[in-house]
Amino acid sequence: MIVSIGIVELTAVNLIYIKTFLEIVVTRNFFQASKNLNIAQSTASARISMLEETLGHQLFSRSRSGFEITPAGLQFQKHALNMMRSWEQAQQSIGLDGEVQSMYRVCVQINLWEKLINKWIPWIRQKDPRAILDVDSDYSTEMMNHLSDGLLDIGVMYSPRKVQGLEIEQLFEENLVMVSTHANVLAEVEYDSYVLVKWGRAFLHMHSQTFTTLHNPPLAVGLGPIALKHILARGGSCYQSLSIVQPLIDSKELCIVKDAPVYPRPVYMVYSDDPDEIDRLQLALAGLREVSQV
């Protein structure tokens, strides 16, 4: 079922209505949402009625047993979240003295946080001391959606897709190596203590082609840092980004499994090809390029 939702003008009143709508969606309860917002339940109901009248669609279906969000409500939820986020970003970009400040909205996949963002934040602070930073972590699909909606300046990810109006630039290529707390060669890697890190479809395909005995171990995780913490605490082997584990290799807490294949994994930056503030974007991109090489 496809539902067409009209545009809601972003006014202070409508923001209150939208905030009420989102609170009800989260709590699934008009009474609890009203309590959280410190308003009467009748006020919450009136706000939703006004919002439904403005949109021309029912957002919740009501019954004696409770209520459910309608297809129109589900579609509006995404737009409501984007409108609230846009408003919050607009507020952040204006300083307490009313002066508009530079705002950088950057999102990276969580596996890249330590390598990039921990270094990029002090870099951009030094170059633009009054900057407002809105930094987050997410998966490629969500980042691409936020970039398309204009809610992000830069997304750093493994799996971008071509979208009109967005530029894709390879930032660097990381090497995934098998490391272990005890094994120097594959013959010494123990099946029971091996952790399969799901580094994306391409990696899992290559991994399954290479390791018939290690492809379905007792433990598989979606994030590299979790696997790393696990093997350091309990012993074992897994694939990790070489740049992240190099200090642990140097300190001999981990060793590289010498005859295990190395898998290259490119990392990309995605950003608008026609930004509103090109100088600000270029500064942020220059910082990410610089810190990625460190």
Q: What is the pLDDT of residues 8-52, one digit of tens each?
A: 444 544 778 888 888 888 888 888 888 888 888 888 888 888 888
Q: Is 173-266 in the same CATH topology as 103-171+267-292?
A: yes
237-241 vs 194-197, strand pairing mode? parallel
List, in sequence order, every residue forming a beta bridge with 265; answer none if it has no partner.
174
Q: What are the tens digits of pLDDT across the range 77-88?
A: 877 877 777 676
- Tens digit of each residue's pLDDT (9 = 90 or more) over 263-274: 999 999 999 998
Q: Which CATH number fits domain 173-266: 3.90.280.10, 3.40.190.10, 3.90.1300.10, 2.40.160.60?
A: 3.40.190.10
Structure tokens at 261: 């294949």
Residue pLDDT, tens place only, 192-240: 999 999 998 889 999 999 998 898 899 999 889 999 999 999 999 999 9
Quick check: helix, strand or coil at residue 68? strand
- Model pLDDT, residue 208: 93
Percent of the chain, pLDDT > 90?
A: 47
Domain coordinates in residue numbering, the chain: 12-92, 103-171+267-292, 173-266
- Judged by average pLDDT, the poorest of 13-17, 55-59, 141-145, 280-284 is 13-17
Which token pair is 257? 């499994």
pLDDT at position 79 is: 79
Asked if the model's pLDDT at residue 5 lies above 80, the reply is no
Looking at residue 166, its pLDDT comes to 94
Of the pLDDT bands very low, low, confident and very high (cuts 50, 70, 90), residue 90 is low
CB atoms within 10 A of CB 159: 15
Computed from CA positions of residues 222, 226, 231, 234, in that sequence, does the dihedral angle turn out positive or negative?
Answer: negative
Classify domain 12-92 by CATH number. 1.10.10.10
Instruction: With cut-offs at 50, 70 and 90, classify the pLDDT of residue 53.
Output: confident
In this prediction, residue 95 carries a pLDDT of: 54
Q: Average the pLDDT over 52-64 and give the result.
A: 81
3-state secondary structure of 130: coil
Given a cut of 60, whether residue 7 has pLDDT beyond it is no
pTM score: 0.65
Ranges of beta strands (E only) in 71-149 are 103-108, 132-137
CA-CA-CA-CA torsion sign (155, 108, 291, 201):
negative
Top pLDDT among 64 and 132 is at 132
User: Which range among 102-116, 143-157, 217-231 has the greatest average pLDDT?
Assistant: 217-231
For the stretch 161-196, pLDDT in tens is 999 999 999 999 999 999 999 999 999 999 999 999
Q: What kind of fold does domain 103-171+267-292 have according to CATH? A: D-Maltodextrin-Binding Protein; domain 2 (3.40.190)
H helix or E strand, kind and range, residue 284 = helix 278-292
